[in-house]
Every structure is written in C-alpha cells, then in structure tokens.
Amino acid sequence: MVQVKSPYWQKVVDDAQKHPAVPGLETIPFFTMAPMEAVTDSVFRRVVAAAGGPDVYFTEFTNARSITHPKAKFTVQGRLHVDKSEKMPVAQLWGDRAIDFEAACFDLKERGYEAVDINMGCPAATVVKNGGGSDLIRHFDKAEEIIVAAKKAGLAVSVKTRLGFNQIDTFEEWIPFILKQDVPLLTVHMRTRKEMSKVPAHFEYIDRLIQLRDEIAPNTLLQINGDIKDRTEGLELVRQHPGVNGIMIGRGIFENPFAFEITPKEHTLDETLTLLRMQLDLYDQFTAEFGPMHFQKLKRFFKIYVRHFSYASDLRVALMDTTNTTQVRELLDQFDEQWAAQKASDTIAITTK
Ligand SMILES: Cc1cc2nc3c(=O)[nH]c(=O)nc-3n(C[C@H](O)[C@H](O)[C@H](O)COP(=O)(O)O)c2cc1C
C-alpha cells in the first residue's frame, strides 16, 4: 500500500480500508466527490452525506485572492462555510499568483481546513484568461511557485489537473513535473482542456500515469476523474488498473444521489423526495445566514431527485414553475397526496399554483 507523506491523506487511505472487502482488490480505493462550482456547497454536501456520501468532499473552487481581499472577503464566507455536522472538506482554490495562495492557505488553516487542492484544470475562458485553472498547464514555473507558496501554511496541498491544454501528449511532461513537486495527491481528469467534456475520458492512459507515479513519486496518491458514474464503476476501473488509489466522481451524482453508497440498492421515491426536502430546508437555513442565492441555482437540482418514476416529468415541469421553497414544498405535498390516491386510480394531475 502507498505510504503517503501527509497524515491527512494517509488517514483517508486507512479509513477506506474499513469499508467491506471488495473481491479482486487488495487495497480499497477512496472515493471523493468532485469540486463543482455552484453545486458542492455545504448544503449539497450534507444531502449527499445523507444519501451515503464519499470518503472525502471538495468545496466549489474559490478564488485564492478573494479569500483575503478586503472587498471580496465577505462574499466568500458562504462558499467556505462548513457545517458542524460535516466532515471537513478539502478546500479547492484557483488563481495565478503564488502570494494569494500563501495568504489564502493561512486563512483556510484558521478556518479549520486541513487540506487544500489547487485547480490546474478548469477550462472556463474567464479562469484561463486570468492565468488560472488549466492555463497553469502552459506555465510550469508559475504552477511550481503556487504549490511552494500554498505549502507554507502546513496544509496538505494536492493538485487537480487535466492531461494537457491542447495536446494529449503534454501529459508526458506535465504529469512528471507535478509529481516532482512532492504533493500527497494528484487528481487527473482524463481529458485535455481543449476537449472540455466533449469526448470520452481517456482511460487508456491510466496505466502510463501509474507507471510515472511509481517511478517519480511513489508516495503520491493517484486519483482518476472523468465519466465515472458511481462506486461500482469506480471499483471496476481500479480492478482494471491496480495502482489507482482514488476515484473522483462529479456528474454521476446528478444521475444518482446514492452514487457513493457502499452497497448499491434500489431506492424508493419517498427516499429521494426526502433528500429534496432536506435540501430545501438546508437551503433556507443557508440563505438566512449568508444572504439570498439565486433560486434558479436550486432548481437545477430538482431533476436529480425527480426522475425514473411515473409522472416524474409532470412533477419536474411543475417544479420548474416555482419561485421559492414554500411553493416547492406545497407541490411536493400535493404530489404525495395524489401519489397515495393514485394507488386506487389511474390518473394523477400536477397543477402549479
Ligand atoms: C457544474 C460543474 C462545476 C464544476 N466546477 C469545478 C470546480 O469548481 N473545480 C474543479 O476542479 N472542477 C470543476 N468541475 C469539473 C469536475 O470537478 C470534474 O472534473 C468533471 O466534471 C469530470 O468528472 P465527472 O465526469 O465525474 O463529472 C465542474 C464540473 C461541473 C459539471
């Protein structure tokens, strides 16, 4: 088993071994939920935890400069908020100046974070234009300076990146370069920046990545990301590529909120709608504390819970017309009543107030 230099990540590896044994695997990989902007905030992380969450969570990415900038400081409070009931997530940062990472990491440490992840893969034009995210794949020196600066606060500093910016074969230089930075964890989204998410993830390079890791940085954990839907798929990938230590799942959670559960099972409609109700309640608490969020942002989650049952599309359409959580709850109550009645009749009608 890999001996990690970071106590934080060593504990993650050790704790993963407490899960039930997996046939065909000597070491059980850890599973993480991918950082996702406007998705993986404290509210959603708690909902995923209630559905049988991953071993580790990542926050949405936060601009390193904004954490300590006098004007932006306040607006990032919600973004970095962690509820007492949560496992402390890994804070993900993006930016392009070493000095900002250094200051941000000291600030995160004060907030109780133990681990920080540097975004070196975001393809968004605004991020790249500002020299952050995947643009760092084109600026090795800057990437190194940032890692060195981020480490100063003593947190566990990991990197999440892509195979390259435009060309896939960039990874033959880029990945060794990052591995030489002595990071406890390297997460690779198996695509280039240019490919965005438009082509299937290049799993064909996983074995080469393992080889590079083993040669250059045997103490660095390798986590694979891209197109892995749930724990079952992740375990199968690790069976095919022993040497992968962790699996990161992003969009899979949109298809199945129970994507991380250890023993997959069928879930009732009641269970999924209970998760939606939980999200509504936590959203209300969160906005009361940190100020209003666009309700539109919350609406994007509805389809996670309202799918795969008769009348799901009717309910979804009706939910899309709501403008606040009270209306959503009313609609769900109405649906519950009709769903019960439906057992005795054939039809169900959802109306929006
Ligand atoms: C809505 C959304 C927001 C994302 N935000 C971030 C982010 O803040 N930081 C990051 O490193 N990646 C971000 N990503 C990329 C994911 O972390 C992940 O690398 C990508 O979705 C591929 O994994 P998947 O196929 O499991 O979804 C985002 C992806 C999505 C769909």
Q: Which of 337, 133, 302 is nearest to 349 (CA)?
A: 337
**What CA–CA distance (Å, rounded) separates 162 from 187?**
8
Which residue in 36, 33, 42, 35 sits closest to 78, CA to CA?
Answer: 42
> Read out DSSP for 300-317?
TTHHHHS-SSTTHHHHHH
Task: Establish if 2 belongs to a structural domain.
Answer: no
pLDDT digits (tens, 9 = 90+) for 113-123: 999 999 999 99
What is the rounded CA–CA span in Å between residue 164 and residue 158? 18
Q: Are residues 60 and 120 in the same domain?
A: yes
User: Nearest 5°: phi and psi at 18?
Assistant: -80, -10
Q: Within this chain, do residues 295 and 203 fall inside the same structural domain, yes or no?
A: no
Confidence of residue 347 (pLDDT cuts 50, 70, 90): low
What's the one-letter identity of residue 171?
Answer: F
Question: Strand, coil or helix: what is 158?
Answer: strand
Helix axes 140-151, 171-179, angle to 10 degrees: 20
Task: For Cα atoms 221, 106, 80, give the angle at the middle one, nearest 5 degrees.
Answer: 80
Please tell me whether residue 240 adopts helix, strand or coil conformation. helix
* Model confidence band, residue 2 (pLDDT cutoffs 50, 70, 90): confident
What pLDDT, in 10s, does the model give residues 219-269? 999 999 999 999 999 999 999 999 999 999 999 999 999 999 999 999 998
pLDDT score at 308: 84
What is each CA distance from 249 to 157, 227, 228, in whole angstroms?
20, 8, 6
| Residue-level pLDDT at 343 | 65
Express each pLDDT in 287-326 by its tens digit. Answer: 999 888 889 999 999 999 998 888 888 999 999 999 999 9
Are 98 and 150 in a shared domain? Answer: yes
| Residue 40 shares a structural domain with residue 86 | yes
Say whether both 158 and 202 belong to one domain.
yes
Q: 192 has which bridge partners?
A: 164
CATH (domain of 40):
3.20.20.70
* Cβ 122 under 6 angstroms from ligand 1: yes
Mean pLDDT in the chain? 94
Same domain, 52 and 95: yes
For 174-188, the pLDDT digits (tens) are 999 999 999 999 999
In this prediction, residue 293 carries a pLDDT of 85
Whether residue 238 is found in the same domain as residue 281: no
Asked whether the predicted pLDDT for residue 172 surpasses 70, the reply is yes
From the list 206, 143, 145, 153, the residue with the least C-alpha distance to 8 is: 153
pLDDT band for 351, please (50, 70, 90 cuts): low
Structural tokens at position 111: 């907030």
Which among 36, 119, 191, 229 is the best mutation to test ligand 1's pocket, defined by most ligand atoms within 8 Å of the CB?
A: 36
Q: Which domain holds residue 242?
A: 7-255
Q: Identify any residues that bridge with 223 across adjacent strands, giving them in sequence order.
A: 187, 246
In this structure, the answer to whether residues 47 and 84 fall within a common structural domain is yes
d(CA 275, CA 302): 10
Asked if residue 353 has pLDDT above 60, the reply is no
Among the atoms of ligand 1, which is closest to the Cα of residue 119? 11
| Residue 229 belongs to some domain of the structure | yes
Instruction: Report the nearest-CA residue for atom 14 of ligand 1.
Output: 36
Distance CA 84, CA 287 (A): 17
- DSSP letter (8 states) at residue 346: S
What pLDDT is recorded for position 69?
86
Distance 349 CA to ligand 1 centre (A): 37
Ligand 1 atom having least distance to the Cα of 60: 8
E strand or H helix at 4, and its extent? none
Is 105 in the active site?
no
Contact present, 162 and 134 (Cβ < 8 Å): yes
Residue among 56, 115, 122, 331 flagged as catalytic: 122
Final residue belonging to a domain, choices 221, 255, 289: 255
pLDDT of 76 reads: 87
- Answer whether residue 88 shows pLDDT above 70: yes
* pTM attached to this predicted model: 0.96
Number of domains making up the chain: 2
What separation in Å is there between the alpha carbon of 34 and the centre of ligand 1?
6
Q: What is the pLDDT of residue 352?
A: 52
Tokens at 321, concatenated: 């017309």
Do 64 and 86 fall into the same domain? yes
117 in contact with ligand 1, CB cutoff 6 A: no
| pLDDT confidence of residue 71 | 77
**What's the confidence (pLDDT) of residue 130?**
96
Question: Which tokens is 325 given?
Answer: 């959580």
49: in domain:
yes
Given a cut of 70, is residue 48 above it in pLDDT? yes
The answer to whether residues 45 and 99 belong to one domain is yes
